[in-house]
Amino acid sequence: MYPETVEIHEFSTGIRPERTADGGWVSLGFTGQYMNVTLKGIPEVVERSIANREFAVTEGASTEQPAIIGRVVGTGDNTWAVVAVVTRGRDEKGRSVSVYRYFLAQGENNLRKILAWWEDQGRPKFNPFDIKTVGQYESVDPTSFHQSKFDEEAKNLPIETTEPILLQPQQYSLETINILAFRKFNILNKIQPVSWASDVEALEKPRSFQIIQPASTRAYEILQRAIKQTPQVSTPVVGDEEALKSAIRSLMNSSQVKPDAVKVIKEALGDKQITSEYWHTLFDGQGAKTAINQKIYSSQMVRLITLRAMVIPKTIPEFLTWLNVKAGKNPDENETISLNFQSAVGKQFPKYQLTEGIKLLLPKLLQGDITPELFHWLFIKGRAWDVCRSEFINDVRYDLQLIYKHFNSGQQTHTFSFDALKFQKVTWQKIIGSWRAINGGYYQLDDYLPLAQLFEQLHEYDLSAYFYQVSERKVPKDVFLAASPNPSNRPYSLTFLGLTLERDVTLIEGVINYFLQEYIVPIKFVIILSLILSGTSFVIGSQFFSKSQTPPSTSPNPAGQKVVEEPSVFQMPEDKRNIILIANTETNFNTTKTALNKLTEEQNPAERIINRQKMIEKMKAILDVEFDFSLMSKSDSDNITEKQKSQQMFERIKLSEAIYSYQKRNNIQNVTGYIKDGDQTYNSLRREINNN
């Protein structure tokens, strides 16, 4: 006897809806959570069935008319009847999206009652603005609404086959289709669950249905071909496939990790017949693909996707993206669930499997598919991959040592044995191919900057310095000093694994270093100079800058000779200081250097005998500055000393300040402190040189 009332609950695909002018809606994206839910917790068996794509129509295949799918899921007292109404909607860009509204009631015999009630209510479909809350379910009397009759023509339909029965479009009513599914269920000794679909264009898993009624003739042909197709993934010979599936379900469904379940996974990982593709089918069978695509974050799905990343290493980047890890911030609820799971399972998991994942991930880091911060997240204490940290670092050292020994012995690039490396060939191939150029300091590989940043976060400063040198041809000061056996500002270079590491020397350090090496300077002057150069004001002795800016002397000069005074100073305004600093960036100063070189080569045809040095002297006179053009033109590849580097920086400042003053004096429209071939400053200088 049926109970007097049936509780019909519902929930829908979670979207961020926006109401349209015509009263409809568009989706601004999926939320990852169900909406309009009337029961406190969605039954696990229902959630798993949805995750397994057992209600899924092929994306884009739903028509304007909703597709209706009915299933009985679960066993015993945990059996639920579920009807899904699939509607085609649109997002804000007009793209098609399939959205689902599920109606469910506990008990296998309640499918027909849900159908009868649904028909009586006017066939409600997905509507994000039909707001429902927990506890707002429908309590209905099965006798209170009209029920459709069984179509007598369906009595003679052969239903003894285990294959899905494909009906003609619009052949039978939903009630008849439901009765056919139950009859088939009973005839086949209940080996197939009650399942049917009506008004569908295409289904993701057509073979999981007993009865299918297509929406059109074209849909009939599509479904017919799909049913006949052989599954694409061949199933390997597995000792106990059900035990493996059960182990995955056990680990995903409980916060308490069972060692026996982990043991089953470990043994399967040692079976070479089980391919990555097959592992994917197992995890997708539990809803992994759906959780990723629809951003479903139930605790079961978080544990499932975490386990998948540990078992299938190539999925680690997808796992980190899906989990939305925010490196350096407190973990949210989903991340906490994953961390607890990693902590419990990681201790029992085979280390070699986790290590393989890290090694496969390194090329992804170099390609920019994963950030240094996320890579570092895997190594934080408590993560499953933390056990690989030491081995990872040691293997990197081993490979770099191997590279150094190869080239230090005089061997050539083409004789390098990649088989001896701990990591994949692609990881170090660029370094090996460019080793001599990198070691010479005139070539860099930007790809390796993420690796420098990763090792900086891991506090492995020598390795960080190595990869900064490879990627930027200089090492940040803090990293260099941390890597140096003598943590002080000098020396500015050291050698590690055959590579000379050059510390990045700032403009301020260069100027101060010049003073310290060129003059005996009181310590208080060094402190003042540091404060001045760091931004309080930009104070430089006038003996180092243009003559036009030396304050006029008030002392008598009867002999008409130049008076040598104590070095006077001037304060450079902030806007001028900023222009000079920008003019001294590598790109802008190289532009100046190129322009000056061209000017020294352009001679007045009437004065062919003028040599390059005289042209330079003319330029100095016009700019009203003394500077060492030869030193200023040298590059790092010329092996200049640290003292020369410091003086070079100072010479550059002098020249930039002189160009700035020249531009001001001559009303140059764009005052930049540097010269560009063909610009107004260049042409003005060219005219003056030719006229003098």
Domain ranges of the chain: 6-228, 241-349, 391-502, 515-550+566-691
Q: What is the pLDDT of residue 492?
A: 62
Q: What is the pLDDT of residue 532?
A: 46
Q: What is the pLDDT of residue 148?
A: 65
Q: Residue 255: what are its φ and ψ, rounded to 5°? A: -75, -15
Question: Which one-letter amino acid corresponds to residue 494?
Answer: L
For residue 570, pLDDT over 80 is answered with no
Give the model's confidence band at 643: pLDDT under 50 very low, under 70 low, under 90 confident, else very high. low
Q: What is the pLDDT of residues 304-336, one digit of tens each?
A: 999 999 999 999 999 999 998 887 788 899 999
Q: What is the pLDDT of residues 287-303, one digit of tens each?
A: 898 889 888 888 999 99
**22 CB contacts (<8 Å, ≥6 apart)?**
none
Q: What is the pLDDT of residue 490?
A: 53
Alpha-helical (H) ranges within 484-637 are 507-518, 523-531, 574-583, 586-601, 612-623, 629-632
For residue 342, pLDDT over 80 is answered with yes
For residue 608, pLDDT over 50 is answered with no
Give the model's confidence band at 556: pLDDT under 50 very low, under 70 low, under 90 confident, else very high. very low
Q: What is the pLDDT of residues 23-54, one digit of tens each?
A: 899 999 888 889 999 999 899 889 888 887 88
Q: What is the pLDDT of residue 103?
A: 98
Vertex 136: Cα angle to 134 and 139 (nearest 5) = 130
Question: Which one-letter amino acid corresponds to residue 186?
Answer: N
- Both tokens of residue 348? 């029992």
Give the model's confidence band at 510: pLDDT under 50 very low, under 70 low, under 90 confident, else very high. low
CB of 114 closer than 8 Å to CB of 46? no
Give the model's confidence band at 375: pLDDT under 50 very low, under 70 low, under 90 confident, else very high. very high
Average pLDDT, the chain: 82
Of 558 and 180, the one with more pLDDT: 180
CB of 350 closer than 8 Å to CB of 267? no
> Considering Cα of 557, then 563, then 565, then 568, what sign does the dihedral take?
positive
Q: What is the pLDDT of residue 552?
A: 39
Low-confidence winner among 29-33, 130-134, 178-182, 517-521 (lowest mean pLDDT):
517-521
For residue 457, pLDDT over 70 is answered with yes
CB of 672 closer than 8 Å to CB of 658? no
Give the model's confidence band at 5: pLDDT under 50 very low, under 70 low, under 90 confident, else very high. confident
Average pLDDT over residues 114-129: 94
Taking the C-alpha atoms of residue 253 and residue 47, their distance in angstroms, rounded to an integer, is 11
For residue 544, pLDDT over 70 is answered with no
For residue 486, pLDDT over 70 is answered with no
For residue 257, pLDDT over 90 is answered with no
Choose from 35-44, 595-604, 606-615, 647-656 the range with maximum mean pLDDT: 35-44
Low-confidence winner among 392-406, 466-480, 645-659 (lowest mean pLDDT):
645-659
For residue 66, pLDDT over 50 is answered with yes
Q: What is the pLDDT of residue 151?
A: 79
Average pLDDT over residues 586-599: 86
Low-confidence winner among 146-160, 321-335, 360-374, 524-538 (lowest mean pLDDT):
524-538
Question: What is the pairing mode between strands 6-12 and 15-19?
Answer: unpaired
Q: What is the pLDDT of residue 553?
A: 40
Site of tokens 């459709």: 148
Give the model's confidence band at 232: pLDDT under 50 very low, under 70 low, under 90 confident, else very high. very low
